[in-house]
Structure 1
Amino acid sequence: MKHNFLFHLANVTTEEMIFIQEITKDLNENQVRNFELVYTGKRRDPQHVLLFTILGFFGIAGIQRFVTNQMGMGILYFLTAGLCFIGTIVDLINYKSLANEYNHKMALESRHFVGMAAM
């Protein structure tokens, strides 16, 4: 079974699991192993995004945006105290979608990297 690593990812969502299975279905065992190595180093656990968002209330706002490579929004949150905490509250509600969006980008990037290495 070439997608066993999905069960070992921390807090993997069903949406993320289906997406990864779809983009890796045409890879061989070795390529899936390489994808796993690259992707597990890049993905973000949704619970960590939630933790960073909560830290925005007590420390530096926007950490969750920096962690998900949204540098512009991170700077904006930092300078405006999380857009006067409204943006931070919205991110608390949508932390899973922030993590999923980032993880989808990293999965596609990892898939592209593995595909290029096979050439």
Structure 2
Amino acid sequence: MNEQYLYTLSNITTEEMMFIKEIMQSLDADAKNKFMMIYSGKRRDPQHILFFGILGFFGIAGIQRFATNQIGMGILYFLTAGLCLIGTIIDLVNYKNLANEFNHKMALESRSFIELARS
């Protein structure tokens, strides 16, 4: 498969690209296309996580946690104003890590879905 599909993902990090290449290594062309369709719908752009974190300074803390399926932390951030803004600041510094962690989980989930469909 050409790597052109990876470049269609907006703001893809080098770490994410290497992880996806590793996951897709043993897939045939049709499975790779299906994987990319599933994965591209599930992944989160790191810039969106940054934007959601910035919203935490304007009274809507925790959206970045909800966007990465960390519902409990999202509720905690919402009720405590981003843990008195300290948690929000930490998330702003680590927004790429939050996005990469979520995207890795979604890539593995997408890969397992492809494996189930093949069976």
The reply to whether TM is greater than 0.5 is: yes
Aligned-partner residue type, residue 108 of structure 1 = L
Give runs of aligned pairs for residues 84-103 of structure 1, distance below 5 A. 84-103=84-103
Asked if the contact 1:53/1:63 (under 8 Å) is kept, the reply is yes
1:30-58 Cα shifts (integer Å, max 9, x gaps): 00000011000000000000000000101
Give runs of aligned pairs for residues 39-118 of structure 1, distance below 5 A. 39-118=39-118
What TM-score do you get using the length of structure 2 for normalisation? 0.98
Structure 1: which 5+ runs fail to align?
none
Residues 2/31 of structure 1: CA separation in 2 closer, same or farther (3 Å cut)? farther
Asked if the contact 1:56/1:62 (under 8 Å) is kept, the reply is yes
- Percent of paired sites with the same residue: 66
- Cα RMSD of the aligned pairs, angstroms, is 0.7
Q: Give the Å deviation of 1:59.
A: 3.0
What TM-score do you get using the length of structure 1 for normalisation? 0.98
Structure 2: which 5+ runs fail to align?
none
How far apart, in 2, do the equivalents of 1:6 and 1:56 lie? 31
1:70-93 Cα shifts (integer Å, max 9, x gaps): 000000000000000000000000
Paired residue total: 119
Structure 1 position 15 matched with structure 2 position 15: yes
Asked if the contact 2:55/2:61 (under 8 Å) is kept, the reply is yes
Aligned-partner residue type, residue 19 of structure 2 = F
Aligned-partner residue type, residue 84 of structure 1 = C
SS at match of 1:26: coil
Greater displacement, 35-44 / 2-11: 2-11
Aligned-partner residue type, residue 117 of structure 1 = A
Aligned-partner residue type, residue 76 of structure 2 = L
